[in-house]
Amino acid sequence: MKFFLDTANLDQIKEAHDLGVLDGITTNPSLMAKEGVKGYDAVVNHYKTICEIVDGDVSAEVLSTDFKSMIEEGERLAAIHPNIVVKVPMIKDGVKAIKWFTDHDIRTNCTLVFSAGQAILAAKAGAAYVSPFIGRIDDSGWDGMELIYQIRAIYDMQGYFTEILAASIRSTNHIISCAEAGADVCTTPLDPLLGLLKHPLTDIGLAKFCEDAKKFS
Ligand code: G3P
């Protein structure tokens, strides 16, 4: 399973990159706004900087919701860097746009996916990635992880090549469960990723080793 960081924060991207396990980045309009990135030139520069730090796919989301504007916007985003993947919402015009991008060799990430039916449509349209939002499904009282298992089973059965990019990650356990469920990618904020490092017995064991090392060094 690949690790993507779900942020537009450059310091966090550098920190995850330094760990040596970062495979890519996903962003969305909310994450870009959080970093205070404003205006077309600033957005382009921000994506360029991310692509310079990370050698992997970087999802950049269109802001429009109609077919024609999504195509124009997506073409501009894709021209920023070869690693840019155009992120398109799961709406009727979005599916049409994904098919258009697929036919024109522009890779897409179909976002805001909350059902197996939506994931089938994204795959049929040729999306490189499909992004089921498991945390938001959990938040609304359903089981987000169940959706990852269901999409995995359907994609394997049907031979779809679209990669399952589990998004809206809320915890370290979500990451582990995504790996168990066969997600191709897990995009996470930094904290749940760093949570994978932690175990109290590791800290206790290391303290003892360091203590004992003093006896013979
Ligand atoms: O990037 C899309 C997704 O990961 C959003 O997550 O935490 O806003 O539900 P969240």
pLDDT higher than threshold 90 for residue 64: yes
Give me the pLDDT at residue 59, please. 98
Give me the pLDDT at residue 40, please. 86
133 C-alpha to ligand 1 centroid (Å) = 7
Of the residues 28, 138, 165, 187, which should be mutated to test ligand 1's pocket, given the most ligand atoms within 8 Å of the CB? 28
**Using CA atoms, how far apart are residues 111 and 118, in angstroms rounded to an integer?**
10
**Using CA atoms, how far apart are residues 155 and 24, in angstroms rounded to an integer?**
22
Residue with tokens 């860097």: 81
CA angle 199, 56, 88 (to 5 degrees): 105
87 catalytic? Reply is yes
pLDDT in tens, 94-146: 999 999 999 999 999 999 999 999 999 999 999 999 999 999 999 999 999 99
The tokens of 110 are what? 């179909």
Mean of all residue pLDDT scores within the chain: 97
Q: Where are the alpha helices (DSSP H) in the chain?
A: 10-19, 29-34, 40-53, 67-78, 92-103, 116-125, 134-139, 144-158, 172-181, 190-195, 200-216
Residue with tokens 């904020």: 189
pLDDT in tens, 138-189: 999 999 999 999 999 999 999 999 999 999 999 999 999 999 999 999 999 9
pLDDT higher than threshold 90 for residue 190: yes
Give me the pLDDT at residue 217, please. 78
75 C-alpha to ligand 1 centroid (Å) = 24
pLDDT in tens, 9-52: 999 999 999 999 999 999 999 999 999 998 888 999 999 999 99
**Using CA atoms, how far apart are residues 66 and 51, in angstroms rounded to an integer?**
27
Count of Cβ atoms closer than 10 Å to residue 87 Cβ: 26
Among the listed residues 87, 92, 99, 215, the single catalytic one is 87
Give me the pLDDT at residue 90, please. 98
Contacts for 175 with CB less than 8 Å, ≥ 6 apart: 169, 186, 188, 192, 193, 195, 196
Contact 143/137 with Cβ under 8 angstroms? yes
